[in-house]
Chain A
């Protein structure tokens, strides 16, 4: 069945601000700067925006705060906050609202200054009463538990985890906008300080500042703007738990459900996918999501990522910006999956530009492997 949403909207403006370190700026100021950059990219005026989709790690009512700060009076707004995958869900929600005629120009945005504000991951995530007595460190304890189980069941090795970080750094070294650049070896990652067994500091994403915004319109207007449209092809979410205690099987995420549904909506098969952007908060994420999204069988993720297979020049282009591990991770990274998808599809990715970049898979993750949202973007050729 052909989806009624495939190709119905397109991103016509994309902007970022403060990627890496932006001392002296608040989260909302960075967000505002990224919106201005997205408007300039689209050749639009602020007053053109009539729908706002926002989630941040520091605003309880994000769309409300954004509306006020930007001085907008949107006809439609949504602050769905499901952690780092919020923005992939916003792509779907914005498409629904645009297609229903509830609005004409949708803004999706995020901003954070958490590196310069304190250098620690900021989270509004409330403690879970049944976990609190054991003092888990949010969120790394949950990801470390999942890693321990994957290693136990499938023989995944710490070296495989390290290879994920090394591949991400390889891509970051081709991206002048990436925060962490320079040589990185498997041994470097393995010898970093152990934080939560078996994860070292080298298995953890960065804590950076950063903001990003994109602007969507219905496809019938998509060619009225300066940049090549990046079309929405499909998206689907799946959510099975909140706290890691309640995750049914720590080696199988809800991406195994969101992925197939998104592939179906986008009418895409694995061989069509030019770029895979997965939310790599920790090295285990990349392994889990490549399995759950069907790029390799369950349990084979560790072997799949070995020896540069997802690094520049490898068999599958994964996280070509350098990912949350080496490019940018300002608390909720999902907006930056979109930014890289747009950059590659528009062929604006410079030295890291893929030869073919017509279809990009974006996979957002929120909470503790909790909310999973898979989305597809495509070029005009992909329609």
Chain B
């Protein structure tokens, strides 16, 4: 007998994440068993754990990498931010053309046709970014 994963009456992680965002909530996934956080939202964690629950993101993180896309119609930055939960996301740092890598940032949900999580610099400097400790 093959095993079939039920989908009826459920919503996949991508749509669930987007629905939370539309409600003004920044939610990420965490495995009940292993405690690992997952982003972007998936049906399974990198460990293989599928017991993922939704938890409110702390909303704080550190800029890991950043670039400014320069276009005739205007420039904007694109950044990778490491959330304090240990996962990384693509985002933009609002209110600044660019910021230094390592800048501590805090999330805000930008509403609009497509709600999105953006970040703003915090008045705080991280002693060391979490990912740098992991690689040390």
* Residue ranges of A at the interface with B (Cβ–Cβ < 8 Å): 129-131, 133-137, 140-141, 144-149, 152, 193-199, 243-246, 249-250
Contacts and interface: CB of A to CB of B under 8 A. Distances in A.
B78 A141 contact: yes
A100 B82 CA distance: 47
Nearest to A243: B90
B116 A145 contact: no
Interface of B: 14, 39-41, 64-70, 76, 78-80, 88-92, 98, 101-102, 114, 116, 131, 135
B24 to A, nearest CB: 15
B135 A134 contact: no
Contact of A245 (B76, B80, B114): B80
A21 B100 CA distance: 41
A199 B14 CA distance: 32
A137 B67 CA distance: 11
Nearest to B97: A197
A144 B102 CA distance: 17
B65 A146 contact: yes
Contact of A141 (B14, B69, B116, B131): B69
A243 B40 CA distance: 11
Given A129-B14, A133-B114, A133-B116, A244 B69 contact: no
A146 B40 CA distance: 19
A137 B73 CA distance: 14
A124 to B, nearest CB: 21
A129 to B, nearest CB: 6
A148 B14 contact: no
A145 B68 contact: no
B82 to A, nearest CB: 11
Interface of B: prevailing SS: strand
Contacts of A130: 39-41, 89-90
Contact of B90 (A137, A199, A245, A249): A245
B90 A197 contact: no
Contacts of A133: 114, 116
A135 B69 contact: yes
B78 A148 contact: no
Contacts of A243: 90
Nearest to B132: A153
Given A197-B68, A197-B70, A145 B78 contact: yes
27 contacts: A129-B14, A130-B40, A133-B114, A133-B116, A134-B90, A134-B91, A136-B90, A137-B69, A140-B69, A141-B67, A141-B69, A145-B65, A145-B67, A148-B67, A149-B64, A152-B101, A152-B102, A196-B68, A196-B69, A196-B70, A197-B68, A197-B98, A245-B88, A245-B89, A250-B64, A250-B65, A250-B80
A350 B98 CA distance: 47
Contact of B80 (A129, A147, A194, A244): A244
Given A145-B65, A148-B66, A245-B89, A134 B78 contact: yes
Given A133-B116, A135-B78, A145 B66 contact: yes
Contacts of A249: 131, 135
A137 B80 CA distance: 14
B98 A145 contact: no
B65 A149 contact: yes
Nearest to A143: B67
Nearest to B21: A133
Contacts of A141: 67, 69, 78
Contacts of B68: 194, 196-197
B62 to A, nearest CB: 12
A130 B65 CA distance: 17
Nearest to B41: A130
A140 B88 CA distance: 19
Given A148-B66, A148-B67, 9 more contacts: A130-B90, A133-B114, A141-B78, A152-B101, A194-B68, A195-B70, A245-B89, A246-B40, A249-B131
A141 B65 CA distance: 11
Contact of A148 (B39, B65, B88): B65
A120 to B, nearest CB: 14
Contacts of B40: 129-130, 245-246
B67 A197 contact: yes
A83 B79 CA distance: 24
A194 B70 contact: yes
B67 to A, nearest CB: 4
Contacts of B66: 145, 148
A246 B65 CA distance: 13
